[in-house]
Every structure is written in C-alpha cells, then in structure tokens.
Structure 1
Amino acid sequence: MSGWAARAGRWGPALLGILASTALLAWFARLEPRWVALGWVELVPWLWVLDRTRSGKEAVLAGTVLAMTFTAAIFGWFPEALHRYSQAPLAVCWLAVLLLAPLMELQFITFALVRHHLRRTSTPPLSFWRITLTSALVYVGTEWLCPKLFAETLGQGFYASESLRQLADLAGAHGLTFLLLIGNECVLAAGKALAAREAPRRVAVPLAVLAVLLLAGTGYGRLRIWQVARETAREPALKVGVVQANITSYDKLAAETGMYEVVRMILDTHYRLSDELLQGRGVDLLIWPETVYPTTYGSPKSEAGAEFDADLSGFISERRVPLLFGTYELEQEREYNAAVFVGPGRGGELTRSAYRKTMLFPLTEWVPESLDSPWLRERLPWTGYWKRGPGPRALELTLREGRRLTIAPLICYESIFPGYVAEEARRGAELIVTLSNDSWFQGTPGPKLHLMHAAFRSIETRLPQVRVTNSGISALISATGEVLTEVPDDHRASLALSVPPPPRLTTLLVAWGDWLGPTALVLAGLLLLGRALPFRRRAP
C-alpha cells in the first residue's frame, strides 16, 4: 500500500469522526431540551480521533479541522451578516471566517496538543485522571486567555436544562464546559473498556463519575431554583414598559428620505407605542432600545437636533414617566454610544444621568487609536468612530413616586462578558437592563444566541433582567435564566413587564469575578510541570 493510501486509510475515519462531533455540536447548540443529553457525548468521536493521532502535528491538525468545521456549523450565518454589513464579497467573508477559525477556536488545538502529550508521557494508575483534568483545564484556560468574538463556550448548550444551567453562578458557562469535557472523557473511557472487554470496574468507574456529575449538578440546580422562588415572593414587582418598534437600517432609510424624516419617524413611532403602553398601567419605568435616538442627546449638532431634544423632553414631562433610552453622547468632540436616563424631578424639572458603553464591537463600533488612520478608513469605510466609556458602573434611577432603583446598565455587546456584569452587580445593582441593536443579525440565529448570553448573566449574578432591542429579541429574564416574556425577532410590540425583585442571593461569580479561566491556567501549569505531584509514578 502506498504512503498516500495509508494516510487516506487513517484520515478517512478520522475525518468522519470529526464531522460526527461537529454534527452533535450543532444539534446541542440549538438550545432545545431534547438535545441536552448530547452534551455528554458530542466530543466522543473527536476524542477517539485524538487517541489515534501519532504525533503532535497530527493532534494540532485534528484540532484545527474541528475548529473550522465547528465555526462553519455554529456560525455559518455570520459570513452572510458580515457581507450585508461591509458589502465585501460573500466568498471573501467566508474565507476570512474560516481562516480565522483556528485562532478564534484555539482551545480545540491546545486541548488536542496537551492531551496527546499527556497520553504519551503519563503512566498508570492515575494517568486517565491526569489527562482528563489537565486537558479540560487547558481548554477553559485557553478560552479565557484568548477571548473570542462571540464569547461562546460549549457549556452554554446546557442552557436548555433548567437545572444544570444554575451551576453557572459558581463558575459561569465555562464551568459547565469543564464538566462537559470530563463527562465526554468518561463516556469514551467506558466505551473503550467495554469494547475491549476489560474488567467491569474499568467500565463502571467512569460511568459512576458521570452519574455523580449529573446528580450533583441537578440537585444544586433544583436547590437554587427553590431559593430564588422563595426570596422573590416577598416583595412587590416593578412595572417596566418596553418598546420594540422593529425599525432597522437607519442609514438606508436616511438615504431614501433624509435623516430628519428618519428621526421624526422613529420618535413618532416610539411615542405612539409608548402611549398605548402607558394607558392605565402605572408603569414605573419606560425603556427604549440602543441608538433609538440616532443623534447626540443634550448636545445638538443642529437646529433640527435641538428640536428633537426639546420634543423628547416634552414627551417625558407630559407623561410624567422616566425614560431610559439609547442615544449618543458628545464630549470634547469624542462621541460615545450611551444609555441616557431622563426623569421628571420633584419640582417639575427633568433629571438626567447616563452610562457610556465600554465594550465596543471591534472595527464596526471602535478602532484602537494605535490602528486608526486615514489609510484604514479609506479601505474600511464602515469602521466605527465611537470611543470607549469608563467601564462598569451601577446607575441609580428615580422612578415614579420617588422609588429608587439601582441598575446594571449594559449596551448590546457588553452582555457577553461575565466579569463585566459581575462588577456592576458588586456595585449594588438590583436589576440588569440591556439595551441592544441586533438588527445586523436579523433573521439569523444571532438574536437567539445573544439572548442566551444575557440569560447566563442573570444566572451568574442572580439578578432579573430587562432586555430591550430594536428588532428582537426583547425579553424579561428571571434570576434563574428563564425567559418569562419575549418579543420575537422581526416583530413590533410594546409590553408592560412585571419584573420580580432580586432574590439577594450571593454567588461565587459575583464574589470572585470570572475566576475559573486564570485558575485553570495555573492548575494546568502545575499539573504539566509538577513531577512531584502524585499523578506521576515514582521510579523504583
């Protein structure tokens, strides 16, 4: 048999194994309860491939291929969205996404390489556990060290399990990923032992570990759900009105009718939907989505801008309802994406406070000053001009009848960062409020994935959340991550939401921040370098 035929004979089954794991990963990522069990077996075919690799290069190749197939399966909608936004050829967008996949999904490669190394160097009796724990630590540590564009991690698929997702208040979704990796290794070990007709103990032990993970995770989840229900039943709900007008493509509309007419239409639509909402409902706070007021509020650039400012202020004064809305803020020629709160004061005057978005989407919203140049702007005319805000903060609002509320404000992309939201929670927030513009991903899985990220932030902080978007998905999320009410993608609606009070439960993630990633790197380093650790058999 020729060398080429021999390689094809080995890599044909390997490719099938990688594609099998990719298919299982894609089903698991649908976030549906019927596919939750796949989380415990989805990587088994790929782990089997890794067991057959003969060198570090082959292990890296197996990780690289999975990174690319995973990206194509889970984020196959993104090249089309990128094409619509940038007007670059679709083929170029696909090529860019696939070429960047090994960098964006580097954890598959580091996991594969470390696991291959450990399989060659570890010796019984505890080699399986050293390989399993160290590789899983490297995986989650890599994800923390090399942040991703969409901050996805495999454990997020367990969101579809009401009980298992509650574990995220300990170590975030990455903690669920860590358990998922251990579970898959256990299934593979039991399967190999069964196929080789080894002693029953070799089959039973890994399956017992998997059973303990399932039972302990489910038990903890049920306990936390009960605690949240007990705590939130003690206080009255907050009444919050949200408006999703489903108005998108501001630039396109402005090119057709002029910017003045666009802003006029946006405001009038939100006034009408808000008035329908306010009739007899006693709303404590009204919320509009990100950049709903597409000009600088409070620092008008023209007479038309001053007219719109006065118009919006008049609306708030007449309705006597505080409003939180997305707009731009201008300070010394630096423009910010902001959430502005305006409410009627005791003497009839309007009070105002603001939060400026810090975590900006790369290139489309923000370009680092070190990279910004006329050359870059000429070649990428769609790049953004916004500046970064000062960081996480809690915003104190005065609602109707003088009621006080401290919120954790988030704008769009910020909701994917656990540590950022945990810092706002530590500052005394009672409610997460997210303003978002997901219209760039309208009609794709993007809005659903963004909603899932938001739900994990509520679990991690044990805070309810109101999420308001321009085109969907707007939602009310409980402290257990349950979506209590939602307005689907590509719909127009206004809702009065009864927001439950925060359960005031402490969480490890709020106390310690996003602690698992750096801890995993340190532990993995110790396990890889520590000859004195008991995983290594001493020479006779």
Structure 2
Amino acid sequence: MHGVLSIALRGSLIPLLVGGLSGALFALSIPNSDIQLFAWISLLPCLCFTFAAGSTARDGGERKPLAIRQTLILGISFGIVSGFGRVYWLAGTLERFGHLSRPEALLSGGLLILYLSLYPAFFLFVCRRLSIRTPLLPWIAAAVWTLLEWAQTWIITGFPWELLGYSQYLNRPLRQLASLTGVYGVSFVLVLVNAGLAQLLASRRRVLATSLPIAAIVSAIMLYGFSRYASLTSEASSASAPPSTASAALKVGIIQASVAQDVKWRPDRARAITQRYADLTRQLASRETLDLVVFPETALPYWFRDDRFSAYREEIEQLARDVSAPILVGSLEMGRIEGKPKVFNRAFLLDREGEVAGYSDKVHLVPFGEYLPMPWLFQYLEGLVAESGSFASGAGHKVLSLPQGVDKIGVFVCYESIFPSIPRALASLGAALLVNTTNDAWFGRTAAPRQHLSMAVFRAVETGRPIVRAANTGISCAISPAGDISHATQLFETSAFSVNVVPRSTPTFYVRHGDVFLVVCALFLLGTFAAQRRRQRGRA
C-alpha cells in the first residue's frame, strides 16, 4: 500500500514541480523582473517532461503519450504560476476599489488565473500527441501556442494580457518582427526555440534536421530586426525625414497629474483636479511652445459638456486659448443609444480657440471595471464598476485631425492597448501619430503599470507609428516606431513635460495585411494534421 501511494505521489508531484518551474520562468521573464532570457527556456521543462516521460512501446513502435492526469497537472500548474505572475495584482484592486472582502477578491483573482491556465494545459495536451521523431514538431507546437494566444483576444470579450511575446519588449531586434506578424510572431519564435530544444534533449536524434531550420529562421529574423531598427533610428535622427515617410516634428506636452484613484471620482474634488491640470499645463507652456497637449484617460472626471460643469469646462477652454495649443482632454460625455442615456469614456480634442474640434470614444471597455457582463452571475463585482461608473462602448474608432495641421492622430484608451487590432485600425484610417491615454491608478505600485506599458511598445512596432502615452499616475512616455521608450515617468510622480515626435504615415506589412501570419499558422496545422490522418489511414 505504501509503495502504491509513493508511486502515485511521485506521479503527481513531479509534473506539479516541473509545471511550476516553467511557470516561474515565464513569470520572471515579464515585468517587473524583465529577465527576458528566461522566456527562451520557459517552456523547456514542461516540454521535456511531456516528450520524455511518455513510455515507448517494447516493439519499438511510436512513443506512448504522457498520461492524461500528468499532462493536466503539468499544464495547470504551469498556467497557475505563470498566470499569477501576469495578474497577481488583480485581487488587491478588487479588494480596494471593488469593495470585496479579501476572500472574495482572492477567489475572483484565482478564478481568472485558473481560466488562463486552461490555455497552456490545452497546448500540452496537443503536444503529448505529437511524434518526437518528426522535424515538424517544434513548428507545430509554435503554431498551436500562437493560435491559442490569438484566442485569448476574443474569448469572453478578450483578455490577452502579457502574452509570451511581450516578454521581449526590450529586445530591440526581435520585437521588430511584430511589424510583419504582430506580437504573435515573437511568441511563435520563442515557442519554436523552446520546442526545438526540448525535442533535441528528448530524442537526441536528427539533430541537424531539427536545429538547422530553426537556427536559420531565428538568424534571419534577427538580421531583419537589426536592419529595421537601424533604418528607423537613422530616420529619426535625420534632420529632415523623407516626405514619403514622415512629417515635421511635433512638440507634444504630456500632463501626468497623479490623482489618486480613491480621490479621482469624488464630486467635491472636481474643481481642484481641473485646476491641477490647468496649472501644470500653464507651467509647461510657459517654458516652451507646444503643438499639442495630452491629458490622461478621464483626467477630468465629469461630464465635460454638461451645463452643470460649465465653469470647469470654460476654464479648460480658456486654457487652450492661453497656451495657444490644441488639448486632448480625457473626460466623460452623456449620450443616448436607442433613446436610453449612456455615458461614454471620451477624449475631446480642443482647438487653440477652446472649441471642440473632434472626439474619440473608448470602444473596447474593461469588463468588470467599466461595465458588468452577465450581471446575474457577477453581481457581487458591481462595486468595482460603481467606482467610475458604467460606460457604453463607442460606435467605432476614428482618427482626429490636428487643427491647423495636416497630421491625423489616433487615440486608443487604456485597456485597448492590449489588442493589436485597435491601433492597427487607427493606422489604417490614416493616423500618423498614436496617442494612448490611460489611468493605471487602479494598480498601485504593482507590476501592472509596467506590464501595460510593455504591450504598448508592441503597438508602436506593429504600426510603425510613434506613440505618446499619457497616464494619470504613470507610466507616461513616448514610444518610437522602433519600440524605444523615452521620457518615462515614475509611478505616482506629478509631471508636465514635452516630447518631440515625428508623425509617420508609411504602413507596415502588419498594418496593410493584418493577421495573415495567424492564417498561415492555421493552414499549416490543418495541412499537417490532414497529412497525418492520410498516413494513418494508409497504414490501416
């Protein structure tokens, strides 16, 4: 009996530890640790165990797959540990601003982590069935992982937070691949290398057939990355950029007022908050001439054009006239949909005369933060929505024309930065400069603000557009089309500063063709599995 129990424990404990090790490597590769090298081996323990732990038939036949129970333990443990690294901060946000008890907050955060763990578990269930002998194994594994990441962008409205590829946001040459494939291509490369190494360690046969194609493709990608980065860096430093690729440089002012989340939505603080933004803007404008000023998401936490707040609105209108610069103001707007009153999370563009020249709405809202999906199930989370109010989704994304200028800007708000399709759509509509406004005060001093920034880096590379980022409590910065971060502020720092950006209109391959790489991955898998089925039928 003791021997049976010991074997059972070993059968569960080993995959639990191996999965946890892979998850820890993943978690350490992303902010705040940023040990990006770990991403290149983060899947290695799981895949080695999957490929090597399955027994081989005595007659020399195909390897038997890893037991289902062990695969499940392996995948879930990997997903839980990596998921904790990705969203550990959620429980604290729910407790503080959602007014949940600590057990309720921990349970809710745990459910999200458990949901995220289903993806690596499914990935390993596919990998356990792959033949260790085929040179295509790493490519199949990479394609499966990539499509699972894409699925995270739309299942349950989408939550593609800190995917594997984002770990390389500081890797200058590799992140340039996103201009062709989006962030998914970077994830593909990382999994390809992990799976290739695992196959070599597990089989130790056909070394050249496995390693040479992977080494060749990675080398080509890095060469492309170095070339593109050098080209963009040269373009940015050029005194006069080519007319076909860039416009005249703009001096953009960014205002980070650092208003605490527990103060921001108090009605009695509206006047003081308005005055704070006005004072910071005037201080900046007194030092330099600005072409545009950007306030963060919902910087002015009231209905901007409502007559009840006309005194505050008039102060901002006068501010635009005083500083003689357009101001992009994050605020709220009351509107109607099908006759029902709705509140929109809106960015208003004021011209130099203080008139509203245009506006852009947030379209992809934060579930549980800005609206409550399935209220019959998640009614207990209504306190988090009540903190800022329940919003309506905008009709669609659109670009704004800068007054007295030829350049167009595209605004994407907060959570929208984690979806590659949104900035890509703005670039397709003609935006030469992207503006990301956000309020990350919810997250305090956790890793979440830097994780959020890491994803915005890829939006710049994917679109080939500079990004100006204004965050209420940080991290505000500028991001170059090559993905370099500059002028980054500290969290909860009050700051008013300017950045020089060169609007850029040349479309990247990703802007022109979208997620064609995902289609290639899907067709590759369909073709591979179809060929495998034909071979199996031929043997029968």
Query: What band does the TM-score fall into relative to the shorter chain?
Result: 0.7 to 0.9
1:380-391 superposed matches below 5 A: 380-383=382-385, 384-391=389-396
CA shift digits 1:514-534 (9 cap, x unpaired)? 34445434432342244477x
Matched, 1:344 2:346: no
CA distance, structure 2, for counterparts of residue 38 and residue 252 of structure 1: 39
Query: 1:151, 1:417 within 8 Å by CA — same for their partners in 2?
Result: no
2:230 corresponds in structure 1 to 226
1:174-323 superposed matches below 5 A: 174-193=184-203, 202-232=206-236, 233=238, 234-235=240-241, 236-251=248-263, 254=266, 259-260=267-268, 262-300=269-307, 302=308, 305-323=309-327
With over 3 angstroms needed to count, the CA separation of the structure-2 counterparts of 1:290 and 1:252, relative to structure 1, is closer
With over 3 angstroms needed to count, the CA separation of the structure-2 counterparts of 1:323 and 1:379, relative to structure 1, is closer
CA shift digits 1:31-86 (9 cap, x unpaired)? 777x3332222211111222225333432332122111211233222211222121
Query: 1:24, 1:42 within 8 Å by CA — same for their partners in 2?
Result: yes
CA distance, structure 2, for counterparts of residue 308 and residue 252 of structure 1: 15
Task: Give 2:11's aligned amino acid.
Answer: R
SS at match of 2:446: coil
With over 3 angstroms needed to count, the CA separation of the structure-2 counterparts of 1:193 and 1:104, relative to structure 1, is closer
Aligned-residue offset at 1:490: 1.3
SS at match of 1:144: helix
CA distance, structure 1, for counterparts of residue 538 and residue 142 of structure 2: 25
1:86 corresponds in structure 2 to 98
Query: 1:242, 1:468 within 8 Å by CA — same for their partners in 2?
Result: yes
Unaligned runs of 5+ in 1: none
With over 3 angstroms needed to count, the CA separation of the structure-2 counterparts of 1:518 and 1:60, relative to structure 1, is farther
Q: 1:143 aligns with which of 139, 146, 149?
A: 149
Name the TM-score, length of structure 2 as normaliser: 0.87
2:483 corresponds in structure 1 to 481
Task: Give 1:338's aligned amino acid.
Answer: R
Query: 1:411, 1:436 within 8 Å by CA — same for their partners in 2?
Result: yes
2:128 corresponds in structure 1 to 116
1:377-456 superposed matches below 5 A: 380-383=382-385, 384-398=389-403, 402-456=404-458
Query: 1:143, 1:517 within 8 Å by CA — same for their partners in 2?
Result: no
Aligned-residue offset at 1:107: 2.3
CA shift digits 1:2-46 (9 cap, x unpaired)? 33211222333322222221222122114777x333222221111
CA distance, structure 2, for counterparts of residue 539 and residue 403 of structure 1: 69
CA shift digits 1:130-152 (9 cap, x unpaired)? x3322322222122223352532
SS at match of 1:440: helix
Name the TM-score, length of structure 1 as normaliser: 0.87
CA distance, structure 1, for counterparts of residue 285 and residue 440 of structure 2: 25
Query: More displaced, 161-170 or 22-31?
Result: 22-31
Matched, 1:134 2:140: yes
With over 3 angstroms needed to count, the CA separation of the structure-2 counterparts of 1:32 and 1:380, relative to structure 1, is closer
CA distance, structure 2, for counterparts of residue 499 and residue 329 of structure 1: 29
Task: Give 1:499's aligned amino acid.
Answer: V
2:59 corresponds in structure 1 to none
- How many positions carry a matched residue from both structures? 508
2:370 corresponds in structure 1 to 365
SS at match of 1:117: coil
Alignment RMSD (CA, Å): 2.5
Q: 1:71 aligns with which of 83, 108, 123?
A: 83
Query: More displaced, 57-66 or 176-185?
Result: 57-66
Matched, 1:21 2:22: yes
With over 3 angstroms needed to count, the CA separation of the structure-2 counterparts of 1:176 and 1:137, relative to structure 1, is same
Query: More displaced, 75-84 or 414-423?
Result: 75-84
SS at match of 1:336: strand
1:52-63 superposed matches below 5 A: 52=53, 54-63=66-75
2:334 corresponds in structure 1 to 330
Task: Give 2:139's aligned amino acid.
Answer: L
* Percent of pairs with identical residues: 25
Aligned-residue offset at 1:414: 0.7
